[in-house]
Amino acid sequence: MYTLKYVNFRGNQLSGAFPSFIFNKSSLQDLDFSYNALSGEIPANICSNLPFLESISLSQNMFHGGIPSTLSNCKYLEILSLSINNLLGAIPKEIGNLTKLKELYLGYSGLQGEIPREFGNLAELELMALQVSNLQGEIPQELANLTGLEVLKLDKIFLTGEIPPEIHNLHNLKLLDLSHNKLVGAVPATIFNMSTLTGLGLQSNSLSGSLSSIADVQLPNLEELRLWSNNFSGTIPRVIFNASKLSVLELGINSFSGFIPNTFGNLRNLSFLSSFSNCKSLTYIGLSNNPLDGILPRMSMGNLSHSLEYFDLSYCNVSGGFPEEIGNLTNLIGIYLRGNKLNGSIPITLGKLQKLQGLHLEDNKLEGPIPDDICRLTKLYELGLSGNKLSGSIPACFSNLASLGTLSLGSNKLTSIPLTIWNLKSMLYLNFSSNFFTGPLPLDIGNLKVLIGIDFSTNNFSDVIPTVIGGLTNLQYLFLGYNRLQGSISESFGDLISLKSLNLSNNNLSRSIPISLEKLSYLEDLDLSFNKLKGEIPKGGSFGNFSAKSFEGNELLCGSPNLQVPPCKTSIHHKSRKNVLLLGIVLPLSTIFIIVVILLIVRYRKRVAVKVFDLQCGRAFKSFDVECEIMKSIRHRNLIKVISSCSTEELNIMVDVATALEYLHFGYSAPVIHCDLKPNNVLLDDNMVAHLSDFGIAKLLIGEDQSMTQTQTLATIGYMAPDVYSFGIILMETFKGKKPTDEIFNEEMTLKHWVNDWLPISIMKVIDANLLSREDMHFVAKEQCVSFVFNLAMECTVESPQQRINAKKIVTRLLKIRDSLLRNVGATSLLYYRPNCFY
């Protein structure tokens, strides 16, 4: 053991302090404890105990503290690797005494101070890597003494000043990386005389000046040239086209312009691209953010290196058509041409680029349909076509793009979305904003479980917001503003726990703001402006950070004066409703009367709901008298008494209504036909039991002649008498969540026709999404229940009165449906009737 020379514990998940037993092996030459979890300080006595060390590798551990200056006592040291630790403090200048050192790795740490000038004494050094640390100051001129240096990595620190011209003395340098610093001034022309260079990284500094004066320089070994994000100007230097091994060229975010030498053509026509045909190994061309102001030459594009993988001319003022010859570059992985003036259609030859993963053509002037050939790009991950003039439908074959994570089609003239889009389960970002899409938001959007961002703003989407969106728990951005959406904001939005930004502005949303939104702790931006929202603005959670701008244009909102809304008269927002009497619809459909439900404690401590008539209308008295005459003489637990409006939510309301209907038709000596059966006239008491009311136009069948006495008022459109037909329409409305008078229905397509057309195809197209989803654990039983209900509704609404089911059979059928559901699901999971009007 005393002649042990090599110890290698690399990558063994060791933890704890540096093992002191090693110090007994004084003959040790190579010590490697890298890629472990050792902690504590690096022992200062390593070299006194192990004086013959030639290599110390302690990288990628958890050592802290400073670098011991005593490491300079290891006179034979050739490799010192301490990178990727938690080291702090300055680099000891004594390291410069390690004259045999060949490789020095001190990157990815918290080291501070300047690069020691003493490093210029490391005459045999071949590699210096000090990247990604907190070092600062200027590049020491003394580094130019390291004539054997092959790799110099000083990137991503805080270097300032200019690049010392003496750096050209590094005749063996292969890789020079000074990127991501704060370097200024011109690049010494002598750098381009370093024929050994294979990689030059100067990107992301503040370097300036023209490179066009550099001439007659050969860079035969240059493979990577990265100059992006500086302040270079003038023409692109000829030296680039002499680099026959060039594989990566990044010149973006500079100010290159004008002309290049005649031998390479006129830059304004971008014919200089043909010069790249000499670069047979070229894999990356990056010229973005330069005012090139030219046209993409067709032949030059087709003759580029077939090794080319990335082509970036974003924001270069490029105009003209999109060359079809780009289809020849079959190794392309990324095309970035956003922010130009390209016109014409998208070439179908793009379909040949089977390796393409990113296609960005945003903000051009492309027009026509999106070609189906794009569907052949099965590896495509990002597709950006926003800001063009594309028209027609999104291709249905997009379902072939199974890897697609970002689809940006905003600001075009597209008109329809295929259902197949909602099969793209890997989708992260979806932008359909500012197009001409219409109709309801599809329920199938709930299939895209990993969505992070949705922007459907500025379209003509209508109907309610699907509650399934609340199941997209990864969602961070949801923009649905500037549409024609209606209904309420779903309570399920409170489940969007990752949401940062929500914009529902400029729609027709009504009712209150769900208090569940208070749970969205990451919500930073909220815009609910210019809707028809009412009630108290929530106070908890992030709501304390929002301004009046988030809620403006909603005249019925109330809350804190800071939000520029009136104070709430009574604090009833989201309180228990146990003692509140509910009425089917608060707003009137007729100007004859106004229905108001109030809770009164009267002499005998009975709760009563008062029906208030417009006393200026004489016919109101007559209608009320007829109603009273009919109701005085009949009693049933599901028929309203004259003195009250409603007296129970835990029973099935449809059964209650059907039971009342059965009694009216069969349970009284003189049958009563209600004639105006609709949700308005179904009143609910504090236990959510339904009571049938408003007999103002009822027909009382008296005697054998069955003559009728009624008020002179028409039944409500959409629920026309007789009662069984009306009950069928109520069943449809209840489980569809749409009124028969909804704007989506007309004479050709009524609610009944809608249900009749879709019921044989898919029950999920018919039912209200709030009542049933495929994720429900009792989906099959509930789907069967709903199917029975809709079939019953269709039997109620057959055109021939003689073929319609009667009220007795309706009750029997509903009870059987309910009992079946109870057996299969349980009492707590019943589909109770909670129409939108009950609040």
Listed range (197-206, 420-429, 541-550, 808-817) with the worst mean pLDDT: 808-817
| Cis before 722? omega within 30 | yes
HSE of 281, CA atoms in CB hemisphere, 13 A: 13
Give the domains, in start order, of the chain with CATH numbers: 463-575 (3.80.10.10), 618-829 (1.10.510.10)
What is the per-residue pLDDT for 138? Answer: 95
Residue 519 is encoded by which pair of tokens?
């749970």
Given a cut of 90, whether residue 739 has pLDDT beyond it is no
Work out the pLDDT band at 817, boundaries 50, 70, 90.
Answer: confident
What is the per-residue pLDDT for 576? Answer: 38
Mean pLDDT, range 296-303, rounded to an integer: 60
Report the alpha-carbon distance of residue 260 to residue 238 in Å, rounded. 8
Given a cut of 80, whether residue 654 has pLDDT beyond it is yes
Given a cut of 90, whether residue 194 has pLDDT beyond it is no
Residue 565 is encoded by which pair of tokens?
């809304």
HSE of 544, CA atoms in CB hemisphere, 13 A: 4
From the number of C-beta atoms within 10 Å of its C-beta (0-12, 13-18, 19+), residue 362 rates as buried
Given a cut of 80, whether residue 412 has pLDDT beyond it is yes
Given a cut of 90, whether residue 21 has pLDDT beyond it is no
What is the per-residue pLDDT for 218? Answer: 64
Given a cut of 80, whether residue 282 has pLDDT beyond it is no
What is the per-residue pLDDT for 590? Answer: 32
Listed range (17-21, 126-130, 432-436, 835-839) with the worst mean pLDDT: 835-839
Given a cut of 80, whether residue 466 has pLDDT beyond it is yes
CA angle at 708 for the pair 707 and 711, rounded to the nearest 5°: 160
What is the per-residue pLDDT for 768? Answer: 77
Residue 428 contacts residue 451 (beta carbons within 8 Å): yes
Strands (E), 467-506: 477-479, 484-487, 501-503
Given a cut of 80, whether residue 813 has pLDDT beyond it is yes
Report the alpha-carbon distance of residue 296 to residue 338 in Å, rounded. 14
The model carries a pTM of 0.53
Report the alpha-carbon distance of residue 382 to residue 355 in Å, rounded. 12
Higher pLDDT, 817 or 628: 817
Report how far apart, in Å, the C-alpha atoms of 564 and of each of 323, 537, 552 are. 56, 11, 8
CA angle at 792 for the pair 789 and 795, rounded to the nearest 5°: 155
Residue 219 contacts residue 241 (beta carbons within 8 Å): no
Highest-pLDDT range among 328-332, 504-508, 797-801 = 504-508
Q: Which DSSP symbol is given to 707?
A: B
Mean pLDDT, range 791-812, rounded to an integer: 86
Residue 482 is encoded by which pair of tokens?
């500037």
What is the per-residue pLDDT for 735? Answer: 80
What is the per-residue pLDDT for 695? Answer: 58
Mean pLDDT, range 4-32, rounded to an integer: 90
What is the per-residue pLDDT for 680? Answer: 77
Report the alpha-carbon distance of residue 632 to residue 759 in Å, rounded. 42
Listed range (157-171, 708-722, 729-743) with the worst mean pLDDT: 708-722
822 phi, psi to nearest 5 deg:
-60, -40
Mean pLDDT, range 364-371, rounded to an integer: 96
Strands 682-684 vs 690-692: parallel, antiparallel or unpaired: antiparallel
Report how far apart, in Å, the C-alpha atoms of 669 and of each of 637, 691, 695, 703, 723 are. 17, 20, 17, 9, 18
User: Using one digit for the tens of pLDDT, what is the confidence trace for 24-70?
Assistant: 888 899 999 999 999 999 999 999 999 999 999 999 999 999 999 99
- Element at 751 (helix H, strand E): helix 751-758
Q: How far apart are the first and last CA of the chain?
A: 85
- Element at 256 (helix H, strand E): strand 255-256
The residues, ordered by sequence, that sit 6+ positions from 661 with a Cβ below 8 Å of its Cβ are 674, 677, 692, 723, 724, 727, 807, 810
Give the position of tokens 């022309």: 189
Report the alpha-carbon distance of residue 442 to residue 205 in Å, rounded. 48
Closest CA to 619 of 482, 554, 517, 713: 713
Closest CA to 242 of 218, 213, 261, 222: 218
Report the alpha-carbon distance of residue 228 to residue 126 in Å, rounded. 27
What is the per-residue pLDDT for 307? Answer: 76
Residue 491 is encoded by which pair of tokens?
């309570």
> If DSSP codes are grouped into helix, strand and coil, which group holds residue 166?
helix
From the number of C-beta atoms within 10 Å of its C-beta (0-12, 13-18, 19+), residue 717 rates as exposed
Report the alpha-carbon distance of residue 839 to residue 820 in Å, rounded. 29
> If DSSP codes are grouped into helix, strand and coil, which group holds residue 789?
helix
Report the alpha-carbon distance of residue 617 to residue 623 in Å, rounded. 10
Report the alpha-carbon distance of residue 311 to residue 544 in Å, rounded. 47
User: Using one digit for the tens of pLDDT, what is the confidence trace for 135-155?
Assistant: 999 999 999 999 999 999 999
Listed range (211-225, 459-473, 711-725, 794-808) with the worst mean pLDDT: 711-725
Report the alpha-carbon distance of residue 694 to residue 680 in Å, rounded. 9
Report the alpha-carbon distance of residue 614 to residue 422 in Å, rounded. 51
Q: Which DSSP symbol is given to 836?
A: T
Percent of the chain, pLDDT > 70? Answer: 76
Amino acid making up residue 826: G
The mean pLDDT value of the chain amounts to: 80
Strands (E), 84-219: 86-87, 103-105, 127-129, 136-137, 151-153, 158-159, 175-177, 184-185, 199-201, 206-210
Listed range (274-288, 525-539, 801-815) with the worst mean pLDDT: 274-288
What is the per-residue pLDDT for 15? Answer: 92
Report the alpha-carbon distance of residue 203 to residue 224 in Å, rounded. 12
Work out the pLDDT band at 588, boundaries 50, 70, 90.
Answer: very low
The residues, ordered by sequence, that sit 6+ positions from 453 with a Cβ below 8 Å of its Cβ are 428, 429, 430, 431, 475, 476, 477, 478
Report the alpha-carbon distance of residue 386 to residue 410 in Å, rounded. 4
Given a cut of 90, whether residue 258 has pLDDT beyond it is no
Amino acid making up residue 797: T
Residue 190 contacts residue 165 (beta carbons within 8 Å): yes
Amino acid making up residue 800: S
> If DSSP codes are grouped into helix, strand and coil, which group holds residue 439?
strand
The residues, ordered by sequence, that sit 6+ positions from 746 with a Cβ below 8 Å of its Cβ are none
Percent of the chain, pLDDT > 90? Answer: 47
Residue 499 contacts residue 479 (beta carbons within 8 Å): no
| Spacing of C-alpha 576 from chain mean position | 35
Handedness of CA 796, 797, 803, 804 (dihedral sign): positive
494 phi, psi to nearest 5 deg:
-65, -15
Report the alpha-carbon distance of residue 166 to residue 152 in Å, rounded. 14
Listed range (304-313, 480-489, 581-590, 796-805) with the worst mean pLDDT: 581-590
Q: What is the largest CA-CA distance in the chain?
A: 125
Q: Mind giving me the DSSP string for 625-670?
A: HHHHHHHHT---TTB--TT-S-----S-HHHHHHHHHHHHHHSSSS
Highest-pLDDT range among 197-201, 263-267, 477-481, 487-491 = 477-481
Work out the pLDDT band at 352, boundaries 50, 70, 90.
Answer: very high
Residue 723 contacts residue 669 (beta carbons within 8 Å): no
| Spacing of C-alpha 730 from chain mean position | 38
- Element at 624 (helix H, strand E): helix 618-632
Residue 12 contacts residue 36 (beta carbons within 8 Å): yes
- Element at 822 (helix H, strand E): helix 807-824
